[in-house]
Structure 1
């Protein structure tokens, strides 16, 4: 029996919240833009020495922008695009496909009572976050 997308996202949120899963999304595009803008503005204002100073300042700012802050995974899951949610759903549904349930509450109870299923779903989320979103993962509080 299929589980709807929103119920699956809620299940994944519960599992990740129970394990204290957090992720930091890397924003390399913003970092590169800051480094470029620093060099460009420095060059306009100070010529060749300004390029050097602007590059250094822009590079440090770019580093700061590209290193993500850790956020709870449930928050990240709820902010995913519909396409990303569907991809995560498909990968997670493959884990619970063979379970017998009648509604979302029952499948949630089955998963929350089975450490093996939780570990498999955590693996799916970890792979999705690291491969699709280039996130760094942390567990625990």
Structure 2
């Protein structure tokens, strides 16, 4: 893997670490399904108020099921296969076109000095995780 790809991956990890992003790749769909099922059953049993109660109960149950399944996004990014890292690299380079850097420290400094770059790269990571990995993103406090 080229040095530039590694630099971009480290940059993405740095930005996601600052945002304290975590993702649940497994069971996030199951948690959402349980939330929806709870609202449906609640609506069938209790009408409109039952939808609210069923949604809350289903949401709590779904959250309980995915508890502990969240991993730090930077860890997941570094565990991606080289081919997936290459895809993220290409998309990030489309955002960062025109930037020239010599090492990862300089790249991080350039990007963290620009709110626009940071927001675009965060959007890239979120889109990748939700669309390609089917993950649910969470921000720790």
> What are structure 2's unaligned runs of at least 5 residues?
31-61
Task: Answer whether contact 1:3 1:104 (CA < 8 A) is retained.
Answer: no
**Counterpart for residue 122 of structure 1:** 122
Deviations 1:17-50 (A, max 9, x none): 001111110358xx8xxxxxxxxxxxxxxxxxxx
The structure whose Rg is larger is: 1
Instruction: Give the RMSD, CA atoms, in angstroms.
Output: 2.5
**Counterpart for residue 84 of structure 1:** 84
- The total of aligned residue pairs comes to 106
> What are structure 1's unaligned runs of at least 5 residues?
32-62
Q: How many Å apart are 1:3 and its aligned residue?
A: 6.0
**Counterpart for residue 12 of structure 1:** 12
CA distance in 2, matches of 1:130, 1:71: 14
Task: Answer whether contact 1:22 1:72 (CA < 8 A) is retained.
Answer: yes
CA distance in 2, matches of 1:131, 1:26: 14
CA distance in 2, matches of 1:78, 1:84: 10
Q: How many Å apart are 1:67 and its aligned residue?
A: 4.4
Q: How many Å apart are 1:140 and its aligned residue?
A: 3.7
Structure 1 residue ranges (4+ consecutive) displaced by more than 6 angstroms after TM superposition: none
Q: How many Å apart are 1:130 and its aligned residue?
A: 0.7
Q: How many Å apart are 1:117 and its aligned residue?
A: 0.8
Give the TM-score, by structure 2 length. Answer: 0.66
CA distance in 2, matches of 1:83, 1:27: 24
Q: How many Å apart are 1:81 and its aligned residue?
A: 0.9
Give the TM-score, by structure 1 length. Answer: 0.66
Q: Secondary structure at the match of 1:101?
A: coil
Deviations 1:93-126 (A, max 9, x none): 1111222333332121011122211110000000
CA distance in 1, matches of 2:66, 2:139: 18
Deviations 1:64-95 (A, max 9, x none): xx847111100100111111111111111111
